[in-house]
Amino acid sequence: MDLYEHQARELFEEHGILVPRAEVTDSPRGAREIARRLGGRVVVKAQVKTGGRGKAGGVRPAADPAAAELTARRILGMDIKGHTVGKVMLAEPVDIDREFYVSYVLDRSAGRFLAIASAEGGMDIEEVAATRPEAVARIPVDPAEGVTPAKAARIAEAAGLPPQTVDVLVRLWQVLVREDALLVEVNPLVRTAQGRIVALDGKVTLDDNAGFRQTRWGTEAAEHDDPLEARAAALGLNYVRLDGEVGIIGNGAGLVMSTLDVVAGCGARPADFLDIGGGASAQVMADGLSVILSDPAVKSVLVNVFGGITACDAVADGIVRALDEVRLTKPLVVRLDGNNAARGRAVLDARAHPLVEQATTMDGAARRAAQLAATT
């Protein structure tokens, strides 16, 4: 779960990292009031869970409360990379001398964390990382040792950050540990004209597995970032949206994972992970199909089921009833195997839907779905 910038800012402040004074509102009138409280001049910042707000026009200075109201009116409701701006944060402007980049991120493959830091922070850090990787220091952090002042000093030195950033690096690690975060990122971390080190932007991703003990953000942050994921969650589906074109439905997380791999092996990209679990009722199938079909990127759908306790004919019945409920707009490839597979296939054959075809193997089904996605 990602936090909004204003929530990250709050955590930084609690852990003793300097942040600009700021408040959040969902109305232009509120923005005027806040600007007044903050002394007139402010920076108006869209609160959306995506980066690149500055380049999209979602971060704008305002010279006085009236300008803050106008600016908030422009930014509220704006679309930034598919995220609608519902709130703005108004922050006291900071006089920037230098911009740095610092983050800690879980490196799953190494079983460690990684400190990433650069003396060239700001809006173009991705470009710096791509064109001049040597300007970005990447230092492994052992989770058991953490970031001590000595470790922080090594990170700062490797990245060419001034020594005053060491304290922030230690505190930022404490944010990560105490808040159960998988990522904390500050870009830019700035040195102000007065020589203070201030976190001007923040991104924090919490580990959902620690949700049981990190309840303070409640429902606001628990909102799904993706509208289709939100709809799927409301329907009780085990759905993760991916960025490909072959919709995937399967029973059992392991089978769905391997289906993603096989589809990728056929040169196509999976559009989602959807595990309909053991029951595979018509309702779950209909709900799953309807979520997947409303993803405009989806070109074909692959249903891969291995019948176990829930036999294939029951799953096939579910698919047939789902087809009555959901208007199929894209080709559907079904592979049924395992318990009662022959009966299940007969049920689908009898339905004879023009957009539904069957395959007998997982590889064959994936190949066909990939082919359909490439030609439709």
Going by the annotation, the residues of the binding site for substrate are: 251, 308-310
53 binds ligand GDP (CB under 6 A): yes
122 binds ligand GDP (CB under 6 A): yes
Output DSSP code: residue 353: -
How many residues of this chain interact with ligand GDP, rule: CB under 6 A? Answer: 17
Tell me how far, at minimum, the Cβ of 296 lies from ligand GDP, in Å: 25
Q: Of the two residues 121 and 331, which places its CB atom closer to ligand GDP in the complex?
A: 121
Output DSSP code: residue 237: -
DSSP 118-169: ESS-STTHHHHHHH-GGGEEEEEE-TTT---HHHHHHHHHHHT--GGGHHHH
17 binds ligand GDP (CB under 6 A): no
3-class state of residue 349 by DSSP:
helix
Active site residue 104: no
Tell me how far, at minimum, the Cβ of 354 lies from ligand GDP, in Å: 47
- Whether residue 272 contacts residue 245, with contact meaning beta carbons closer than 8 Å, is answered with no
Distance CA 242, CA 156 (A): 36
Q: Of the two residues 71 and 187, which places its CB atom closer to Mn ion in the complex?
A: 187
CA–CA–CA angle 111, 117, 119 (5° rounding): 170
3-class state of residue 89 by DSSP:
strand
43 binds ligand GDP (CB under 6 A): yes
54 binds ligand GDP (CB under 6 A): yes
Distance CA 98, CA 175 (A): 23
Say which of 23, 179, 185, 245 is annotated catalytic.
Answer: 185
Distance CA 362, CA 359 (A): 8
3-class state of residue 189 by DSSP:
strand
Summarize the annotated binding site for Mg(2+) as residue ranges: 187, 201
Say which of 4, 101, 104, 239 is annotated catalytic.
Answer: 101
Q: Of the two residues 103 and 187, which places its CB atom closer to Mn ion in the complex?
A: 187
162 binds ligand GDP (CB under 6 A): no
Q: Binding residues for Mn ion, per CB under 5 A? A: 187, 201
Only one of the segments 52-60, 281-289, 332-340, 349-357 lies at the binding site for ligand GDP (rule: CB under 6 A); that segment is: 52-60
Determine if the peptide bond prior to 133 is cis (ω within 30°): no
Active site residue 223: no
Summarize the annotated binding site for ATP as residue ranges: 45, 52-54, 94, 99
**332-338 sheet: strands from edge to edge:** 238-241, 272-275, 246-250, 300-307, 332-338, 356-359
CB neighbourhood size of 173 (10 A): 23
39 binds ligand GDP (CB under 6 A): no
Q: Of the two residues 9 and 367, which places its CB atom closer to ligand GDP in the complex?
A: 9
Q: Of the two residues 51 and 65, which places its CB atom closer to Mn ion in the complex?
A: 51
Catalytically annotated residues: 101, 185
Interface with ligand GDP by CB under 6 A: which residues?
43, 45, 51-54, 59, 93-94, 96, 99, 122-123, 187-188, 200-201
